[in-house]
Amino acid sequence: MRALQAEGVKTIFGYPGGAIMPVYDALFDYTRGEKKCFDHILVRHEQAATHAAEGYARVSGEVGVALVTSGPGATNTLTGVADAMMDSTPMVVIAGQVAIGSLGTDAFQEVDLVGVAQPISKWSYQIRHAEDVAWAVSRAFYIARSGRPGPVVLDFPRNAQVEEIDWEPKKVDFIRSYVAYPKLDKAIIEQAAFLINQAERPLALVGQGVELGNAQEELKAFLEKADIPAGRTMLGLSALPSNHPLNVGMLGMHGNYAVNLKEQECDVLIAIGMRFSDRVTGNLKTYAKQAKVIHLDIDKSEIDKNVKTEVAVVADCKESLPALTALLKEARHTEWRESFKELDKLEREKVIEPAIHPKEGPLLMGEVVNAVAEQATDDAVLVTDVGQNQLFATRYFKYHHKRSICTSGGLGTMGYGLPAAIGATFGAPNRQVVCFMGDGGFQMCIQELGTIMEQQSPVKMVVLNNNYLGNVRQWQDMFWMRRKSFTKMLNPCYELIAKGYGIGYEAVTDRNNLTAAIQKMLTTDGPYILECAIREEDNVLPMTPPGMNVNEMMLEI
């Protein structure tokens, strides 16, 4: 408890069990009375503890903490660990373990957690003796939060939990073999600046690294000085406000039309804190071959991994962006930026207007998201599950402030949304938290309504119900001859479920009632579920089919 306190931990998401009971007994005193310094949030499933910790970390910028027992308690966290690793989310998972004398005997609820977690975490370690606790915890938090953030797993055998030693605080802020913040090479910065200053059609690709590095203002200064249009990855959406004049939309398979096509026309491509995911690049063999690529990233392993770079700036973008900006010439790329507008207009006519302002028929996901975005507060946090709900929500929500999006990007974890939204309410208690879910993802962690009930977490839950696993259904329709193999869903009565948990609820089937229903949801104190009956075959567009070139984006099916 003292080691966690020394790291500034305020909130712990967890679920007790036999092998972690000594820690929970100690926690008892630190959550009440004079010693109180932690809030412990009892989740209903260990996977939810990790997703809640992720949501907390995403909006607060702090390290999320999950506390669980051994065996199935520990293995239940692995999806969240892998999710945090893919999305560079700082998190520490502390799991109980059988005593070291029982290791390897197949003792009750024993599992080799360090071995299992090692490939999907930034560091995993077994604390075998009490004297190692302070050092291991400090090292864990240093690794989780520094450099490119990520999850750390601490395996805590029972004997180390009950041994007694004199408390000696430890502070780890240096590891010889671990270079968290590479030294900025000024000669490389000069090379990058030269290319940008010569560019006629520059394009920036902004990723979550800008958010993780707290470099949002540095990004604006960089873009504005050189007049560079910028696309954003899904996880980087709130790194640049939606209404910024240089924002040209979302990158990727279901991103905006103009910015995806212009990746194939730019002469200098500047990637900032992003990893050239396959969902952004499409066919790598043809991706941006005409462009000189400048890649700014803190993680050297991302350089040339997918896309060959002309200049690689390996450093923290909080440091590299200002250094680069200082060497840039004031520029205006008016004609280049204007060339985006005709493509934007085409997308608006063919995709956006029909999606957000349909004239007839059942409700569409785009119009629900747009209607919520119009009424949500400027500092609202968007949380999504995975699937069509995620793609529509990220496309049509509005981002005004930093750290305004929580979504599972790399791993694409269904069930992420509800617990991540709980975590977000604790990480940003003064901000409105709106969570969009499909009927499939909602049911994957639906037990967390119990956590919401107990904590009265003010999550505004929008269930986009089309009675399908919608994203898979869309792919089946497009690429599998409309053979809908096990994607149709028979759903429960969500009204009765909401009533059972004492959570406010309303269903909307008529768009004439949508605005009022959203207003009621957003102005009701505490949690609320708004279920929207969506057209069953609502499709996400635009779309770059898998394996196709990024400029072969489809505006219609």
pLDDT band at 384 (very low <50, low <70, confident <90, very high): very high
Nearest to 78 by CA among 56, 51, 110, 43: 51
Name residues whose C-beta falls within 8 Å of residue 32's C-beta, 6 or more positions apart in sequence.
Answer: none
* Long-range residue pairs from 238-241, CB within 8 A, at least 24 positions apart, any chain: 238/211, 238/399, 238/401, 238/402, 238/403, 238/404, 238/405, 239/206, 239/207, 239/208, 239/210, 239/211, 239/273, 239/402, 240/206, 240/210, 240/216, 240/399, 241/399, 241/400, 241/401
| Per-residue tokens: 180 | 């968290």
Using the Cα atoms of residue 475, residue 480, residue 482 and residue 485 in order, give the sign of their dihedral: negative
CA distance 308 to 264: 15
Predicted confidence (pLDDT) per residue in 4-17, tens digit: 999 999 999 999 99
Mean pLDDT, residues 480-507 = 97
230, 248, 265, 332 from 245: Cα distances, Å: 9, 8, 20, 13
CA distance 232 to 261: 14
CA distance 203 to 263: 7
Nearest to 410 by CA among 150, 93, 109, 155: 150
The per-residue DSSP string of 161-189 comes to HH------------BTTB-SSPPP-HHHH
CA distance 55 to 406: 6
Predicted confidence (pLDDT) per residue in 457-480, tens digit: 999 999 999 999 999 999 999 999
By percentage, how much of the chain surpasses pLDDT 70? 100
Is the bond preceding residue 182 a cis peptide, omega within 30 degrees? no
By percentage, how much of the chain surpasses pLDDT 90? 99
Name residues whose C-beta falls within 8 Å of residue 186's C-beta, 6 or more positions apart in sequence.
Answer: 323
What confidence score (pLDDT) does residue 472 get?
97
Name residues whose C-beta falls within 8 Å of residue 63's C-beta, 6 or more positions apart in sequence.
Answer: 7, 9, 57, 90, 91, 92, 141, 144, 145
What confidence score (pLDDT) does residue 41 get?
98
Predicted confidence (pLDDT) per residue in 385-417, tens digit: 999 999 999 999 999 999 999 999 999 999 999
Alpha helices in 263-410 (DSSP H): 278-281, 317-326, 334-347, 353-356, 365-375, 388-396
Q: Which residues are bridge partners to 95 per DSSP?
A: 68, 155
What confidence score (pLDDT) does residue 395 get?
97
264, 331, 335, 353 from 342: Cα distances, Å: 16, 22, 12, 15
Cross-sheet strand order for the sheet of 292-297: 247-250, 230-232, 202-206, 268-272, 292-297, 311-314
Mean pLDDT, residues 114-131 = 98
Mean pLDDT, residues 503-522 = 98
Residue 167 region by backbone torsions, left for phi larger than 0, else alpha for psi between -120 and 50, else beta = beta
Total Cβ atoms within 10 A of residue 112: 14
Name residues whose C-beta falls within 8 Å of residue 517's C-beta, 6 or more positions apart in sequence.
Answer: 506, 508, 530
HSE (side-chain half, CA atoms, 13 Å) at 169 = 8
What confidence score (pLDDT) does residue 224 get?
98
CB of 237 closer than 8 Å to CB of 403: no
Total Cβ atoms within 10 A of residue 480: 12
